[in-house]
Structure 1
Amino acid sequence: MADEDIQGVIEELVAEEHRLLEHRDGRALTDDEHARLGEVQVRLDRFWDLLRQRRAERAAGRDPGEASLRDEDTVEGYQQ
């Protein structure tokens, strides 16, 4: 997957995240909306991580194709 493709996925996920948050109209999210928002946010984290890995590989003179989409537990376990 090329950087541009990854960026496209990120943009789609951000748009969905915004739609979910804006759709509330002052009300709380439904259980389904809340679950979907969580899924979207995890996918965003995973794709941002993939893009950062690719950039780091490239900066180190290595093949960015060696980067891989890490699992949720790994990405969500990072310390901020």
Structure 2
Amino acid sequence: MAGNDIDDTLTRIEQLIAEERELRAQATGTGLSDDEQKRLKNLQQRLDQYWDLLRRRRASAEFGGNPDQVEPRPVSEVESYRQ
């Protein structure tokens, strides 16, 4: 069912946001180790990737396509849009 992929994508976004918030809270308190800083950057990139995927899946559904067939773009491609 098309809605499942969209719901799954939203669930994953919520999980990534929760982890990002935990790291940001820690950053304002005790700071972040190098590994945690790398993890935070990775989380931000993954969030960009999942937001892009969600937008594309919703557009596919809106225009009669099959959102289940929309695959995530590589992080490098999604990140290049921001520059």
Same fold (TM over 0.5): yes
- Counterpart contact for 2:6–2:67, Cα < 8 Å: no
1:8 pairs with 2:8: no
Equivalenced residues, count: 80
What letter matches 1:36 in structure 2? R
- Counterpart contact for 2:20–2:40, Cα < 8 Å: yes
Structure 2: segments with no counterpart, 5+ residues: none
RMSD: 1.6
Shift of 1:61: 1.2
Shift of 1:66: 2.2
| Percent sequence identity over aligned pairs | 43
| Aligned residue number for residue 44 of structure 2 | 41
* TM-score, normalisation: structure 2: 0.86
1:19 corresponds to which of 8, 19, 22: 22
Shift of 1:58: 1.0
> Would you tell me which structure has more helix in proportion to its own residues?
2
Residue-by-residue CA offset, 1:24-68 (whole Å, 9 max, x unaligned): 344432211110001111111111111111011111111112211
Structure 1: segments with no counterpart, 5+ residues: none
Structure 1's consecutive aligned runs of 4 or more residues displaced over 4 angstroms after TM superposition are none
1:75 pairs with 2:75: no
| Aligned residue number for residue 61 of structure 1 | 64
